[in-house]
Amino acid sequence: MQTPQIFSFHGGIHPEENKAQSLQLPLGRPRLPSELILPLGQHIGQSSRPLVKVGDHVLKGETIAINNGFLSSCLHAPTSGTITAIEERAIAHPSGLNDLCLILEPDGKEEWTTLNPLTEWQSNDKTDVLAYLAKMGIVGMGGAGFPTQVKLQGAHKNALKYFIVNAAECEPYITADDMLIREKTQELISGIEILQHLVNADQVVIGIEDNKPTAIASLNALLSEQNSPIQVAVVPTKYPSGGEKQLIQLLTGEEVPSGQYPADIGVLCQNVGTCVAVHDAIHYGKPLISRFTTLTGDALKAPQNVDVLLGTPVAHLLEYAESQHNNLHRLVMGGPMMGYTLDSAAVPIVKTSNCILAATKKELPPPAPEQACIRCGMCEQACPANLLPQQLLWFSKSQEHEKAEHYNLFDCIECGACSYVCPSSIPLVQYYRHTKSAIREAREANIKADLAKQRFEARKARQDAEAAEREAKRLARQKATPAKSTTSKAAPSPSKAAPTPAAPISDEAKKLKVDVVIGKTKLKKAQKLLLEAQENEHLEDIKTLQLQVTEQETQLALLEEQLSKLTPVAAPVQTTPSAQSKPAVNDELKKAKIDVALIGVKLKKLNKQLEETPDDQELKGKITNFEIDLKAAQATVDKLGSASTASTAPKAAISDDLKKLKIDTAIAKAAVKKVEKALQKAEEIQAPEVDAIRQQLKEAQQRADELEKALANPQSTDAKTVSTPAQNSPDADAEKKRKIDLAIAKAGIKKAEKNITLLKEQGKNDAEITASEWPKKLTEAQEKLAALEKESTPAITPKVEAAVPANADADKKRKIDLAIAKAGIKKAEKNIALLKEQGKNEAEITESEWPKKLAEAQEKLSALEATDGNTTQKATQELPESKTDSATNDLANKIKKQKIAAAKAQINKLTKRLDNEPEVADSIQQEIAATRQKQEDAEALLAQLTHSKETTQENH
């Protein structure tokens, strides 16, 4: 075992270690608390999805929440007991946020569920092992809680040179890793070996600070006994040598390029706790349900390390370590350099809690008043990132964000070394955090503005094109009139006149098509970036990219809609000249034949599937659909075949009829539109004639429908003139009708909502509001909407794309339900906010029915989302879901926008207040952080939605 070379990093500090206190006593094992609080978001990424209901009995180690997407993790019951609640609780978070938690009341029996160790991990496929680790809920236990399987997957990006096990534990006070190494040396080594087997790095190095001689000795002893190739690199004690980037520099001499990840230079870092957890999972089948945590600080009489179940409230541990409540002045989760203060001891231990520091006033005195920066440069000498903290401070204070970025503010790792040494007691890190978030916000706003500009330009281009089209038509009409009056002269053939109006349309269509293609590639690119960002945990980027993707998608949808509107118009014009009809027919024939072949193949496949699963109702339905299709396609082929041999004369006649019909249809449609407009207006002014107009509308629609049908019939009997897009027109019509109905229903909802808010503004209390008829109306309208969506969908589905299986319907319905549930949540949240604004205190709010409703709605939402996941998995390969996708995205977009906007407004308000009242800066800062967190939550939700979309795409 050779000793590896140790490099050094710039700066660093030597704060008092204070590690001896917690190493006096042996490892403690607190008894079970009366309840365990298990937050669903213990890791970076999306929160887990609960699998249990209130009242369920669970066994120790049972999965109680599963991962909710790519960047997520599972959660297991730390002991056996009953789920007593699923509710918001205070969690350990810098901003003192609440989060959804599963509350588990232990039954004291500690009954294990059946454990399934992965004994064949060496021969198993590596992806299976990774999936197994994901199932065991393993996340990085040193810092942010990054899901381990994701990190391991990412490690394969480049050839892996180093696998570094981070045992540096540079923060003062913390000794959890030290204790873990001492207690579980064998497990640690075996965990490292498993991980090494998975990633296959050139070198495996354990980086450990020289202030842990006992741990180093036991590691060395065991490694030399086993003749292991794992190296132990003892680094000098200097904060922050345990920072990932710093440890990499210490052990490899290389720097992680700015904005990139260790994997990019072939390095993988894992915390010792994670390695032990991996060992426990693979060899014993134990999921991650407990961890080592240091309890320390002068306010504790018995500081020590404990092996504690996740979810144990901090208060329980403080009591265990004999805390003297009178002396407790500051309660820090994590170390004194990078930890954050806790509001209350009611928060639980989570997968990443490595230390609870209960400090007295003497131990961590309140910060001295801030003095002016004397530019002494001590911060600069201490900064491990080699920044110029004093310049960053200057730019942060003067809000020169660009300059701050130029001075690499975003390379600051917020280690706090600069604040520690600053003789003027300037809370530098706090300034940086504030500036960073301000910059992020500005970036996002920029992107939004860009998108708005793009949209504007696109609309302008569209309008220009429309104007050009009108102009062209006008010209054509002008030309046509003199042509008629001068028939004696060599009569210009109509085929010559025809192309003129066609040209601009097809031109526009072409342009639109190009636009669509461009939009699609853009979308693809954005999606790819988004995926990458999610993989690499570029949390900031995800937001903005998400925004881009959704924008792009809506734009694309718009373009496509336009295109589909255009093409049917263009198609008949193109086919009018009889000379062109023959090749068209041939083309059609070919296409139809291909269709037949395709459908046949699909049918065969489905039949085979049916043999395997004979009672799959869905499959059967699909097969019948296909069979009908096949027949229709065959009929088309036959017809086309005969038509192509027939003369061209009857075609012309038919096309004449067709023209007339089309004109009629257009007139009818215009009428429908007019009536619609009238209806809208009437609704706006709540005129009594609404119903009458509605009747009219229905009639008009019926007429239009009939005409369309008539139009569709000759088309199908005389398929030669009908190019594929033309077939869309009846469908489009039905869709329109449905859309109108939807719009009506939606308007109704909006009206009801408006009225409700109006009532609220008028100061009516909730009881009165509930008494008034509006909420009822609202629900009615919502129901109607849902019903409409439901009924309208099946009507079109078979027509639009016969291949779309019935479950697309179910999908849509579910999505609507989802939307409704979300709307419910929003409503409840709004109401709660309203109550708060009205000055009601928390107790009253809790008493009112809204929080309950909120919880209910959220539950429903999660349930729906669960089904969402299931059904999408069921979806077969040939299911093109672009439409539902865009629906999801619209939804996501809406939700995100509203939530984020609200959060932002609050942040702005707070920042303004901050400017006005600098003396309460601290509390406001925290509020800002809280709000920001909310905003992030909104984004997480969005990410969830996107994810469900991703899975659908993957299933194709």
What minimum distance in Å lies between the beta carbon of 275 and ligand SF4? 27
Q: Which is nearer to other proteins, 427 or 519 (CB)?
A: 427
Is residue 924 at the binding interface for other proteins, with CB under 8 A as the rule?
Answer: no
Please state whether beta strands 203-209 and 162-167 pair in parallel, antiparallel, or not at all (unpaired).
Answer: parallel
The answer to whether 207 and 167 are in contact (CB under 8 A) is yes
Residue span 686-725 as binding mask against other proteins, x where in contact by CB under 8 A, dash where not: ----------------------------------------
Question: Among 387-395, 441-449, 663-671, 751-759, which window interacts with other proteins (CB under 8 A)?
Answer: 387-395
Binds other proteins (CB under 8 A): choice among 98, 220, 231, 381:
381
CA distance 58 to 74: 15
Nearest to 300 by CA among 318, 286, 315, 284: 318
**Long-range contacts: 397-402, Cβ < 8 Å, 24+?**
397/431, 399/435, 399/438, 401/435, 401/438, 401/439, 401/442
Q: Which is nearer to ligand SF4, 121 or 432 (CB)?
A: 432
Binds other proteins (CB under 8 A): choice among 224, 371, 521, 882:
371
852 sits in which H/E element? helix 850-874
180 to 177, 230, 317, 319, 881: CA distances (angstroms): 5, 18, 18, 22, 50
Site for other proteins, residues 145 to 184, rule: CB under 8 A = 172
Nearest to 162 by CA among 36, 268, 71: 268
Q: Is 379 annotated as a binding-site member?
A: yes
Q: Is 383 annotated as a binding-site member?
A: yes
Is residue 328 at the binding interface for other proteins, with CB under 8 A as the rule?
Answer: yes
Q: Which is nearer to other proteins, 330 or 543 (CB)?
A: 330
Length of the chain in terms of residues written: 956
Binds other proteins (CB under 8 A): choice among 6, 20, 144, 376:
376
What minimum distance in Å lies between the beta carbon of 340 and ligand SF4? 14
What minimum distance in Å lies between the beta carbon of 538 and ligand SF4? 19
Site for other proteins, residues 746 to 775, rule: CB under 8 A = none
Alpha helices in 369-410 (DSSP H): 378-382, 389-397, 401-406
Please state whether beta strands 98-106 and 36-39 pair in parallel, antiparallel, or not at all (unpaired).
Answer: antiparallel
Q: Which is nearer to ligand SF4, 438 or 671 (CB)?
A: 438
Binds other proteins (CB under 8 A): choice among 373, 749, 910, 945:
373
What minimum distance in Å lies between the beta carbon of 433 and ligand SF4? 9
At 70, give phi and psi (nearest 5°).
-65, -50
What minimum distance in Å lies between the beta carbon of 406 and other proteins? 6
At 731, give phi and psi (nearest 5°).
-60, -45
What minimum distance in Å lies between the beta carbon of 256 and ligand SF4? 13
* SS3 category, 213: helix
What minimum distance in Å lies between the beta carbon of 861 and ligand SF4? 39
Alpha helices in 136-269 (DSSP H): 148-154, 176-183, 185-199, 213-226, 244-252
What minimum distance in Å lies between the beta carbon of 292 and other proteins? 22
Q: Which is nearer to other proteins, 200 or 425 (CB)?
A: 425
Binds other proteins (CB under 8 A): choice among 20, 374, 445, 452:
374
CA distance 703 to 690: 20
Please state whether beta strands 81-90 and 57-58 pair in parallel, antiparallel, or not at all (unpaired).
Answer: antiparallel
Q: Which is nearer to ligand SF4, 141 or 373 (CB)?
A: 373
CA distance 422 to 390: 10
Q: Which residues bind ligand SF4 (CB under 6 A)?
A: 373-379, 382-385, 387, 389-390, 393, 412-418, 421-424, 426, 428-429
Binds other proteins (CB under 8 A): choice among 183, 380, 676, 741:
380
Residues 6+ away with beta carbon under 8 Å from 132: 118, 121, 281, 282
CA distance 84 to 35: 9
CA distance 225 to 214: 17
Site for other proteins, residues 12 to 31, rule: CB under 8 A = 13, 15-16
The one of other proteins, ligand SF4, none whose footprint includes residue 774, by CB under 5 to 8 A per kind, is none
The answer to whether 909 and 573 are in contact (CB under 8 A) is no
Token output for 780: 């009615």
Binds other proteins (CB under 8 A): choice among 322, 402, 532, 587:
402
* SS3 category, 358: strand
- In the block, residue with structure tokens 């107009």: 693
The answer to whether 374 and 424 are in contact (CB under 8 A) is yes
The answer to whether 530 and 946 are in contact (CB under 8 A) is yes
Question: Among 29-37, 368-376, 514-522, 859-867, which window interacts with other proteins (CB under 8 A)?
Answer: 368-376
What minimum distance in Å lies between the beta carbon of 403 and other proteins? 7
The answer to whether 808 and 884 are in contact (CB under 8 A) is yes
Q: Which is nearer to other proteins, 443 or 840 (CB)?
A: 443
Q: Which is nearer to ligand SF4, 379 or 558 (CB)?
A: 379
* SS3 category, 86: strand
Site for other proteins, residues 417 to 446, rule: CB under 8 A = 419-425, 427, 429-430, 433
654 sits in which H/E element? helix 649-684
Binds other proteins (CB under 8 A): choice among 214, 344, 463, 607:
344
The one of ligand SF4, other proteins, none whose footprint includes residue 393, by CB under 5 to 8 A per kind, is ligand SF4
Q: Which is nearer to ligand SF4, 372 or 843 (CB)?
A: 372
Site for other proteins, residues 64 to 123, rule: CB under 8 A = 94, 96
What minimum distance in Å lies between the beta carbon of 542 and other proteins? 21
Q: Which is nearer to ligand SF4, 139 or 379 (CB)?
A: 379
Q: Is 74 annotated as a binding-site member?
A: no
Q: Is 376 annotated as a binding-site member?
A: yes
Please state whether beta strands 267-271 and 203-209 pair in parallel, antiparallel, or not at all (unpaired).
Answer: unpaired
Query: DSSP secondary-structure letter at 686?
Result: T
What minimum distance in Å lies between the beta carbon of 157 and ligand SF4? 26
- Dihedral sign (CA 766, 771, 774, 778): positive
Binds other proteins (CB under 8 A): choice among 384, 501, 725, 805:
384
3-class secondary structure per residue, 889-939: HHHHHHHHHHHHHHHHHHHHHHHHHHHHCHHHHHHHHHHHHHHHHHHHHHH
Q: Which is nearer to other proteins, 271 or 419 (CB)?
A: 419
Packing angle, helices 428-485 and 389-397, rounded to 10:
60
What minimum distance in Å lies between the beta carbon of 297 and ligand SF4? 23
Binds other proteins (CB under 8 A): choice among 66, 101, 176, 337:
337
What minimum distance in Å lies between the beta carbon of 836 and other proteins? 21
Q: Which is nearer to ligand SF4, 13 or 943 (CB)?
A: 13
Nearest to 9 by CA among 209, 206, 245: 245
Binds other proteins (CB under 8 A): choice among 34, 227, 326, 645:
326
Q: Which is nearer to other proteins, 95 or 226 (CB)?
A: 95
As beta bridge partners, residue 163 has 204, 268
Site for other proteins, residues 231 to 260, rule: CB under 8 A = 245, 249, 255-260
Q: Which is nearer to other proteins, 438 or 866 (CB)?
A: 438
The answer to whether 756 and 778 are in contact (CB under 8 A) is yes
- In the block, residue with structure tokens 């390379």: 411
Binds other proteins (CB under 8 A): choice among 92, 278, 332, 825:
332
What minimum distance in Å lies between the beta carbon of 929 and ligand SF4? 17
Annotated binding-site ranges: 373, 376, 379, 383, 412, 415, 418, 422
Summarize the annotated binding site for [4Fe-4S] cluster as residue ranges.
373, 376, 379, 383, 412, 415, 418, 422
